[in-house]
């Protein structure tokens, strides 16, 4: 049974940092690409960043380039999203998603950027 559990969200001031983690289980983690998405109230879910199965290639949405970094630890079945220089418009629920066949999502973690 595929499980993805996000953690690390919270309230942070503009300019601050957060590190999100996604713990994966129930599948061969090192064989799948992983992604982070986000969904703000009233908006569609959007891709934030992705990483290939071996971690060798990453991609980012333009609105987070230079501020966010996606990484993974295949020994620990973890994918992380380091978020720096946070802006109020980064406020959203952040989800991790497994690549490949099927739509496997975590339950999400709330990130609120506000003074």
Q: What is the mean pLDDT of the chain?
A: 97
Residue 102 — very low, low, confident or very high, per pLDDT cuts 50/70/90? confident
3-state helix vs strand vs coil in the chain, percent to 5: 10, 50, 45
In tens, the pLDDT along 64-83 reads 999 999 999 999 999 999 99
Tokens of 107: 């339950």
How far, in Å, CA of 108 to CA of 6, rounded? 6
In tens, the pLDDT along 17-61 reads 999 999 999 999 999 999 999 999 999 999 999 999 999 999 999
Nearest to 81 by CA among 61, 99, 104: 61
How far, in Å, CA of 70 to CA of 79, rounded? 7
Residue 103 — very low, low, confident or very high, per pLDDT cuts 50/70/90? confident
């Amino acid at each position: 049974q595929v499980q993805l559990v996000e953690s690390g969200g919270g309230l942070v001031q503009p300019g601050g940092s957060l590190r999100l983690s996604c713990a994966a289980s129930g599948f061969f983690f090192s064989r799948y690409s992983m992604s982070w998405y986000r969904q703000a109230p009233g908006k569609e879910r959007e891709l934030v960043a992705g990483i290939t199965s071996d971690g060798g290639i990453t991609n980012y949405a333009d609105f987070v380039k230079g501020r966010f970094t996606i990484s993974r630890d295949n020994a620990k079945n973890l994918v992380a999203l380091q978020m720096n220089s946070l802006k109020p418009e980064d406020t959203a629920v952040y989800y991790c998603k497994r690549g490949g066949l099927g739509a496997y999502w975590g339950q999400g973690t709330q990130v609120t950027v506000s003074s």
